[in-house]
Amino acid sequence: MSDLPPPVSDLPVLKLLNIESAYGPIKAIRGISLQVRRGEIAAVLGSNGAGKTTILKTISGIIDPRKGAIEFKGQDITAQDPSHIVQQGLSHVPEGREVFPLLSVRDNLLMGAYTRSDRDGVARDIETVYGYFPILRERATQDAGLLSGGQQQMLAISRALMANPDLILLDEPSLGLSPKLTKEIFEIVVRINRERGTTILLVEQNANMALNASDYGYVLENGRIVMEDTCARLREKDDIKEFYLGLKEEGVRSERRWKKKKTWR
Ligand SMILES: Nc1ncnc2c1ncn2[C@@H]1O[C@H](COP(=O)(O)OP(=O)(O)OP(=O)(O)O)[C@@H](O)[C@H]1O
Ligand SMILES: [Mg+2]
């Protein structure tokens, strides 16, 4: 594995422009604009109900936005059919994995490749994902429903990779996993980005993991982006340290900061 930084280009592979999505009367996201550059890992951080899943569902066409536009590789994909969006090279690993429990691990992987006709490429990519997650090779013929939560997360990421995507949307890969397993999964996510050049947009409550793994980050609160920066800079911001990383500084000053109304920037 190379330690070289990924070839991040300034070209945005994904652009959201003023996206608004709602569930009936509930506005879940309110004017989201963000960009993901080709080759980078971008993260959206936010707590429960902030609107993270809604952003990803809107990008992949599961929810149609009320307002705004989404561009993928320079093409408008706003409110297009999810299957069409997958075919354009965008794969979504949903919250809670959603593997097919009664299909074998291998058949789950093949489902991820259903849009492809290059059988040799599919066989090669199965070997590649078995390389990332050897347990999936061991369990290849077992029903996916029998895998542990962490193994199902590995399978869900692998299934997304089987479409050979340019961009993967990852919804809370750490959900329900031990810190050790979370760390392992994030290490593989970074490897996938570095080795294959796959661009990744992930959403997370686990700010620590997400900020360490990602290049650029957005902070989401109540359906709005309240801060964005490189992850290196976000990690140094006092508000992020206090509210997301739980690193409160000692002393009176931080007590005051803690008490005062939260103000961003
Ligand atoms: N199917 C739905 N019907 C009605 N409201 C919904 C639905 N799904 C989400 N919401 C609401 O939309 C808002 C954003 O939800 P969303 O699932 O996007 O948040 P999230 O950031 O992914 O949260 P979590 O970290 O808990 O997964 C919340 O107020 C939520 O209650
Ligand atoms: Mg969610």
Instruction: Read off the pTM.
Output: 0.90
Q: How far is the CA of 123 from the centre of ligand 2 (A)?
A: 32
Matching residue, tokens 């542990």: 148
Nearest residue (CA) to ligand 1, atom 30: 49
Nearest residue (CA) to ligand 1, atom 12: 28
One-letter amino acid identity for 259? K
The per-residue pLDDT for 240 is: 82
One-letter amino acid identity for 93? V
Q: For residue 134, what is the DSSP state?
A: H
The per-residue pLDDT for 183 is: 93
Q: How far is the CA of 18 from the centre of ligand 1 (A)?
A: 19
Residues with CB under 6 A from ligand 1: 23, 26, 28, 46, 48-54, 95, 205
* DSSP run (H or E) holding 34: strand 26-37
Provide the residue-wise pLDDT of the chain in tens; the chain has 265 residues: 445 555 677 789 999 999 999 999 999 999 999 999 999 999 999 999 999 999 999 999 999 999 999 999 999 999 899 999 999 999 999 998 899 999 999 999 999 998 888 999 999 999 999 999 999 999 999 999 999 999 999 999 999 999 999 999 999 999 989 999 999 999 999 999 999 999 999 999 999 999 999 999 999 999 999 999 999 999 988 888 777 766 655 544 444 443 344 444 4
One-letter amino acid identity for 50? A
Strands 199-204 and 41-45: parallel
Strands 12-23 and 67-72: antiparallel
What pairs with residue 30 in β-bridges? 20
The per-residue pLDDT for 97 is: 84
The per-residue pLDDT for 248 is: 59
Nearest residue (CA) to ligand 1, atom 16: 51
Between the alpha carbon of residue 193 and those of residues 2, 13, 169, 254, the distances in Å are 12, 14, 12, 37
The per-residue pLDDT for 263 is: 44
- In a 3-state reduction of DSSP, which class is residue 216? strand
Q: How far is the CA of 135 from the centre of ligand 2 (A)?
A: 27
The per-residue pLDDT for 265 is: 43
What's the CA gap between 139 and 128, in Å, rounded?
15
Q: How far is the CA of 176 from the centre of ligand 2 (A)?
A: 12
Sheet with 75-76, edge to edge strand ranges = 26-37, 12-23, 67-72, 75-76
Ligand 1, residue 29: give the atom nearest the CA: 14
Termini Cα distance of the chain: 37
Between the alpha carbon of residue 178 and those of residues 114, 127, 183, 188, the distances in Å are 32, 27, 9, 16
Nearest residue (CA) to ligand 1, atom 18: 51
What's the CA gap between 217 and 42, in Å, rounded?
6
Q: How far is the CA of 84 from the centre of ligand 1 (A)?
A: 25
What's the CA gap between 74 and 14, in Å, rounded?
8
**CB-CB contact of 42 with 190 (8 Å):** no
Between the CA atoms of 20, 98, 86 and 52, what dihedral angle is there, to the nearest 10 degrees? 20
What's the CA gap between 190 and 245, in Å, rounded?
20
Q: Which domains occur in the chain, in start order?
A: 12-98+167-186+194-259 (3.40.50.300)
